[in-house]
Structure 1
Amino acid sequence: MGTLRIKRIYEPPLTSDGFRVLVDRLWPRGVSKAEAALDLWLKEIAPSAELREWFGHDPARFDEFATRYRSELKTNVEAVDQLRDIAKAHDTTLLYGAHDRRANQAVVLAEFLAGQGPHFEQDA
């Protein structure tokens, strides 16, 4: 597996990002497609609209959100396999738009992909 990182999409793209994948269902406000410098927008891997709305980026709900999102990922085999194959072949950066750098779906997704094994790098 290549290096797996997570990063806010509002941070400038770097060559060290490798393959850049937006993992949000909605396009982030104020970011043009050129600025995003995406290789892939994999909105199918994002939490369901219902889960996203329930969570509402409330840190107090993050643990339950993470549990529910992992359950969704277990049934989203096609999108997970697609992302896992990319991450095996390339250094990969999962991009997200949330303000909270610790309580967001990219953190849960990276941990899920890493299988609680190899460490992933998180933006500061």
Structure 2
Amino acid sequence: MAEEFKPVFTKDAAPPAGPYSQAIATPHGIYVSGQIPCKPNGEILTAPSSSIAEMTELCIQNVSAVLKAAGSDLTRVMKVGVFLTDMSHFAEMNGVYEKYFTGKPARSCVAVHQLPKGVLVEIECVALP
């Protein structure tokens, strides 16, 4: 069974915040773990010095880098999950999101009480290889 999937890691995205892979690649799909607004060097974008738009942009850049390391890209994303700590950020997040996910994959967006490292947004996805 281990040959059917492999962990994905790239130094071009945020390092995992815990004991998990940035993604798992299988012959049928790439499952990208939630990406937070964290630079590859570990620097986390926070309010008020960074906007939700900037944070969302960095989350998507991280998703894109992980997909690239797995041999895929944003055009092959089938499902996206967006987590916000406050739905008042929805419109600003959505403005950035729609620039990148032009294929309009299926999506969920939910408000959560809090996210790891105190971030305000996190994005995960499933893509085709």
TM range (shorter): 0.3 to 0.5
Question: Between Structure 1 and Structure 2, which shows a larger proportion of helix residues?
Answer: 1
TM-score, structure 1 normalization: 0.33
Q: Is the strand fraction higher in 1 or 2? A: 2
Tell me: higher relative CO, structure 1 or 2? Use CA pairs within 8 A at least 6 residues apart.
1
Rg larger for = 2
